[in-house]
Structure 1
């Protein structure tokens, strides 16, 4: 049994919902077990999401929507429910997630929410192309042109840290470049989840010793545990 609604009350106060969706359009990331929450049953997806969306109060004026894939995998009915609650509860900022392959389609989402600031997050995982492709099976490369596009279109990226094979230097560089190119970054310390990607506990100890101060940094969301957002399906 999972938890699909929560209020985040420390830094960046907001409501957050974990919604069901159709299968992730990519679905091959080697570290991801979220896709087990996907479904092909549209009625079941909408039923679960309607129950979740009912919890939204709008009290912070900020809503984050996550699902096991991209916003583009949510059903039409679910998107209409989100539009309604954003309007009814006077929500001013809304977050969605996308996969890299959708980067040129973001205006389709923005136009659904006139007068609302739509903030898009994307899982970049690392700025190291070889590690992203060969270890995380996330099949895109970065260059200056791509980074410029991403920095213009996205509000923030998620970086996956402390997995076996990473080095301290890679993590230092990821944090440095994340803050250079993006308004905001999420640092997600990996927790073993049954996938082939494994956590490096020595790196975790080093990271917490060096970077725990980032919990106070306004541009950084640091997730020591991937359940820190308070929503999860298990």
Structure 2
């Protein structure tokens, strides 16, 4: 029997490279996957077809404060949910010399999507999981949340640090209820976000300091995420797993 056959898992930001890889890996291990998207319906429908229709697609704009609660309600319409992957995220740049309204706009949107939406979904998930005997949450953090980030992207680094703390708080506060939480902290992953950075700063800047000389692949992240949902991995509760090629060691 596939190891995740009894599980139904919501993946936010599922149409990006990492989200897609996570969905494919979960489905390969037997899970039913609920595919969240915000704009690219065609990509979501294509992904659903690629997992042989074993799941559903759900639309929500996570920059809208009302969206996470509605997304969870839509999720629950598809039956009992056993897992949540808070994968949706954005990375914006704003100069320290920018006008204050521009600075505040970037910080507010970054935290709305990367932290507050994840926190709202986490709240909904915990309330649901309590009535089911438990569940698991995997949060997509970042190396940037551990070591800090560039001046123009401080909002991104700070948001990912908050996501790491959310993970640990859930693990400590709700582990006794069978609700476990784990964070992944990737360095550079070969995604649209990485390609955008490379277009601005060059590939050498992105690869600098990575001992293995390459970025992680989305498939690596997908396979690791699926592994973390195995029922046998309950002792990973509270862990923050580095996936950075040795570029940050702690």
> What's the TM-score once normalised by structure 2's chain length?
0.40
TM-score (normalizing by structure 1): 0.42
Between structures 1 and 2, the one with greater helix share: 2
Greater fraction of residues in strand: 1
